[in-house]
Structure 1
Amino acid sequence: MREKEVEAALVKAAKKRNGLALKFVSPGLSGVPDRLVLMPNGKMAFIELKAPGKKMRLLQEKRKSQLEALGFLVFCIDRKEKVEVVLDAIIQAA
């Protein structure tokens, strides 16, 4: 399985739940997560996608920490099976 397959599963699952998984690009700032997930009732999170078994690079871990310090949810998904679990966590977040 490739990263694109995991990404496609996320986009499809978010849409099925009436949400959006927008491609996130930040020119001039490397290491930002791949997707910004927006769910009903103002729930949102940043998602980094990886091929199965792959880990975030050091800079990506730094960006994750920066976003979390600002109060945002940030997840890394490396398998299709994690998609629904992460979406549930986003929806249930306070």
Structure 2
Amino acid sequence: MRERDIENYLRQQVKKLKGIAYKFESPGNAGVPDRIVLLPGGRMQFIELKAPGKKPTPLQLSQHRKIKKVGFSVLVIDSKEGVDEFIASMGGE
């Protein structure tokens, strides 16, 4: 399974919750998480998507630390099961 497949699955599952999974790109800030997920009720989550078994790069981990330093979390997901766990934690199926 490829990262792109997991990303598409995430978008589909977020849409079922009436949420939005924006592609996150920040010019001049390489390594930012792949998606910002916005869910009803004011819930927000940064998500880094990886192919199964792959880990974030040092640059990505540096960006994750910056995000965490200002009070937000970054969730790393590398499988459809990981997407399902995230969705369940947000009150989905």
Which segments of structure 1 move beyond 2 Å, counting only runs of 4 or more?
A: none
For 2:73, give the aligned amino acid: L
Q: Which residue of 2 aligns with 1:79?
A: 79
Which residue in 1 is equivalent to 2:64?
64
Percent of aligned pairs with the same residue?
Answer: 48
TM-score under structure 2 length normalisation: 0.92
TM-align CA RMSD:
1.2
Give the deviation of 1:84 after TM superposition. Answer: 2.1
Q: Which runs of 5+ in 2 are unaligned?
A: none
8 A Cα contact 1:44 1:73, kept in partner: no
How many angstroms apart in 2 are the aligned matches of 1:84 and 1:42?
A: 20
* Deviation (angstroms), 1:46: 0.6
Rounded to whole Å, the distance in 2 between the matches of 1:73 and 1:87 is: 16
Match of 1:18? Answer: 18
Matched residues, number: 91
